Amino acid sequence: MSATVLTVDDSKTMRQMLSMCLSGAGFNVVTAEDGADGIEKLKESEPDVVITDINMPIMDGFEFIETVRGGGFNARLPILVLTTESDAAKKARARDAGATGWIVKPFDPEKLISAVNRVAP
């Protein structure tokens, strides 16, 4: 059985790119448009790994991670941050919120797949 990956990004293009990359590698992919949508999709799909952007409307990536970690979801659910941000303070904030890893956009498909495989149960 292949792992399910939830991708949370407000960019339709990025969601499509992630979906193509991950489904091509054999993952089941569920997409969400922002953090709030991501929480709803998380409840419905029970993913094995989450990939989230930071800068999104309604609920940003930091709030999303904090909600997942504090909301009774699987505490060990791997959450990878995929963002254009590279600031050390933002990386630390994401790590403190409970992020598992940090990948800077644009992403290398092979490195992304490798990262997902490393953290997937």
Domain tally for the chain? Answer: 1
Contact 35, 42 (CB under 8 A): no
Helix H or strand E segment including 80: strand 79-83
**CA–CA gap between residue 109 and residue 33 (Å, rounded):** 21
Q: Which domain holds residue 12?
A: 4-119
Q: Over the stretch 44-93, which tens digit does the pLDDT of each residue have?
A: 999 999 999 999 999 999 999 999 998 777 778 999 999 988 889 999 99
Q: What is the pLDDT of residue 68?
A: 94
Give me the CATH number covering residue 94: 3.40.50.2300
